[in-house]
Structure 1
Amino acid sequence: MGAWRGLRVAFILGSLFMILLIIVYWDGVGGFNLYLFPDMKHNSLQSGCSRRMTMSTVSTVQSHASSPITAHTATSSSPIEAAQILTDEEQMKEESEDERIRFPAEDMEQEARKQRIMDVCSGKDVMDFPGRTRALDQIPIRELDHLIVDDAHQIIYCYVPKVACTNWKRVLVVLSQSLISPSTGKPYTDPEAVPPDLVHNSSLHLTFAKFWRHYGSLSRHLMALKLQRYTKFLFVRDPFVRLISAFRNKFERPNEDFYRQFGSVMLRRYGNVSEDLAETAAEAFAAGIKPTFHQFISYLLDPETERKSIFNEHWRQVYRLCHPCQVKYDFIGRLETLETDSKHLLKLLKVDQFLRFPSGARNRTETSWERDWFAQIPLTKRRELYDLYKPDFELFGYPRPDGVLHR
């Protein structure tokens, strides 16, 4: 009898312990805050964002009412709590309607951009590309390294190099307070004051690729929860213009890292340069030797390039960086409408009263440059290049560059 009573006590204590673990776990799911520099100002920033979930996110959560979390919440809520939930939902609905009144054209454009992605990903446009139909769980975690997570403000940003990503990272640094200003000894509060060369330090940003190191076997589950709850956004650009911009930035002026890893390879493979090629970019440029745009395109189209390694992030296709068929983005911005889209997005995130999008130097590469830049590229290579980047053209609604693809 004593043994049986001991077993019952052990069972009850074990059950209580498991319930405590579950409570602690679910309490932390919505906001693992790993940032190292907390500050009192953070509270004011966060309070302004506490209800910035879009109605589409609310609808998604409500549609999962049969899940254990939602069912438990519904059954355990008192009438007062239930009334408060309804009040909060009504307020969010009113705020969402206010945003639609302020940005009717922008909202319609956003819906069109999101619908286009859904159509291409579903196969309605009769177009296939690698990874279109795979599940999120099938994407290697290392390929999720561009999805930056801000738990405090429930934001997920997929950054695309050469598409204003420096300035958007500066915004996230201010929101997360992850970088201290040496002049004030406090976190930066103005994105324009954040040194642009520092924001690309990977240690400043929590990305999905780091989840395994932090959360182990819970990583995939946490990713799914955050993707369901958080506001997700990215900014895109005409694919060919982005390529021109990447080439100008990395190969038209000395860049030691890119010269050693890519430029010297292009010169040896396609430039008929002898083995005594300069070891440094400074020496090569001083001798008047540097990669051409034609050599850059040849490198991108070379099957050997793809076999050896995945494209560098500066010219990797957006569909391979941000996985739009697996991640349902709430906002798709364009560099071509950066000022309008940024203002709209900051309002949706409820942070426009605390900061402004940096108005720094704008990348000057324009679509009108395409014909001149591709003039020396053989027509067959132009068409091969279009096929390589066609998914990005289709997914994000950029017109086929017929002026480049036809003589």
Structure 2
Amino acid sequence: MARQEEEVLKVAPYLQRLLRHWLAVCLVLLTTCTTAIVISYSYSSAIPALDSSRKAAVSPYAPSVDPRNDDVSEDLQPDGQNLSQRFPQSVGEMNSGRDGDPDNRFMQEQALVQLRRKKTMRDACRRQPLIKQEERYAARFFILKKSKILYCALPKTGTTNWKRVFMVLEGFRPNVENVSFLDANVNNGFKEVPHSSLLRQILNLNTYTRFVQVRHPFARLISAYRNKISGEATRSGQDPKFTDISLHIVRKYRRGAEGEDFNPETLRVTWDEWIQYLTDPTELSRFDPHWREMYKLCLPCRVNYDVVGKLETVESDSKFLLNYLDLKQLRFPTSRPLFHHGIDREDKELLEHYFGNMSTRNLQRLYNIYKLDFELFGYKTKPVL
């Protein structure tokens, strides 16, 4: 018995060392696994997840992809899908009739444009993982049940004409020519998304085409100023809320606004006063949707848009969307046929007129406010900056 106890005592130190060794190994493994889980969770939380559910394709059009071309590489392809998966008709079948079908060529070219725009948005979202997504603006989204479209209506980007088109698609009007401005914006019959929880449910639907149209951020500010702010406060048809905003701007930024010479009946907000208002940090949270940052209204880092249109290229973009939906008989109503290097000529002239003499300081302050709109939607500051 004594001998057995002696042998046990000899082995005990070895067993203790072995036990400590295995405990140390287990502790290292546990720490490594925990760290990996934390990093994975932090990474997935930091980068906004794009909705991966995709609708059954409603268009046969797919651009041919040359893997040697960096501009149309696999990185351009949405949601990890290759183009033959995104569009059910094979690329080879599409290419076989490409040379003889102008519509076919047009759709393939425009599909590549869309892929590039969406890649630009995804890249910007990854660079800015903490972009604020204001779901309180869910009412900017319209549900078009008949045509299966989820449309984010950004003010001052051509929304009135798109609403005319959608009223025809939904069967509310026989043609776009019969749709007045009032009908398009007030009596359109569209169902708005009433709250953010319903919006989140809709974004998971795989049967709707998600569409948004944007515009050069500074051109949009000019349009808002000319259409909503710069005119006489009491002009016929002016929304009272814009009259109130105009009065607020003048009283806050104009010297002697409350003096004897101040006449609110003939009020005109100057461009300089408008810029002071836009760059005033105390006013940012109260911006009206007509000049609020586009990314805050249409959630580009949360909504995986199928089609991203631009007002500057509305003719080709509208043709693409309507053909994409197999609605070739419809045409977008536009009186802006002339374009110049990606910026509509009228907008380019207005940009030069309003921004040409602006101080560098004010230009930079204004750009900093709308910087994410420039980056997300691929706009350049030239010829302004």
- Is 1:201 aligned to residue 186 of structure 2? yes
The one-letter code of the counterpart of 1:250 is: K
1:30-179 equivalences under 5 Å are 52=58, 101-123=105-127, 127=128, 130-131=131-132, 139-140=134-135, 142-177=136-171
Gaps of 5+ in 2: 1-55, 63-76, 82-86, 338-343
1-structure distance, mates of 2:259, 2:129: 41
Hey, what does 1:9 align to over in structure 2? none
Structure 1, residues 210-240: CA drift from partner, whole Å, max 9, x if none? Answer: 257xxxx7x35632333x3311111111111
2-structure distance, mates of 1:108, 1:53: 14
1-structure distance, mates of 2:124, 2:79: 25
- Is 1:373 aligned to residue 354 of structure 2? yes
Shift of 1:155: 0.7
Structure 1, residues 183-213: CA drift from partner, whole Å, max 9, x if none? Answer: xxxx4110121112221117722122x257x
2-structure distance, mates of 1:291, 1:349: 43
1:283-294 equivalences under 5 Å are 283-284=265-266, 289-294=267-272
Hey, what does 2:341 align to over in structure 1? none
Hey, what does 1:225 align to over in structure 2? 204
Hey, what does 2:319 align to over in structure 1? 343
Please point out which of 308, 331, 336 is paired with 1:356. Answer: 331
- Judging changes above 3 Å, is the alpha-carbon distance between structure 1 residues 61 and 270 closer, same or farther for their aligned structure 2 residues? closer
Tell me if structure 2 keeps the 8 A contact 1:53–1:231.
Answer: no
Identity value in percent: 31
- Is 1:268 aligned to residue 243 of structure 2? no
| Higher relative helix content | 1
Q: SS of the counterpart of 1:398?
A: coil
Task: State TM-score, norm by structure 1.
Answer: 0.63
Gaps of 5+ in 1: 1-49, 64-87, 178-186
- Judging changes above 3 Å, is the alpha-carbon distance between structure 1 residues 211 and 275 closer, same or farther for their aligned structure 2 residues? same
Q: SS of the counterpart of 1:234?
A: strand
- Judging changes above 3 Å, is the alpha-carbon distance between structure 1 residues 264 and 93 closer, same or farther for their aligned structure 2 residues? farther
2-structure distance, mates of 1:324, 1:146: 13
Task: State TM-score, norm by structure 2.
Answer: 0.67
Larger radius of gyration: 2
- Judging changes above 3 Å, is the alpha-carbon distance between structure 1 residues 211 and 53 closer, same or farther for their aligned structure 2 residues? farther
Moved more, 194-203 or 91-100: 91-100
The one-letter code of the counterpart of 1:176 is: E
1-structure distance, mates of 2:310, 2:203: 26
Hey, what does 2:384 align to over in structure 1? 404
Considering only aligned residues, what root-mean-square deviation do their CA atoms show, in Å?
Answer: 3.4
Tell me if structure 1 keeps the 8 A contact 2:224–2:290.
Answer: yes
What is the number of equivalent residue pairs in this alignment? 293
The one-letter code of the counterpart of 1:120 is: A
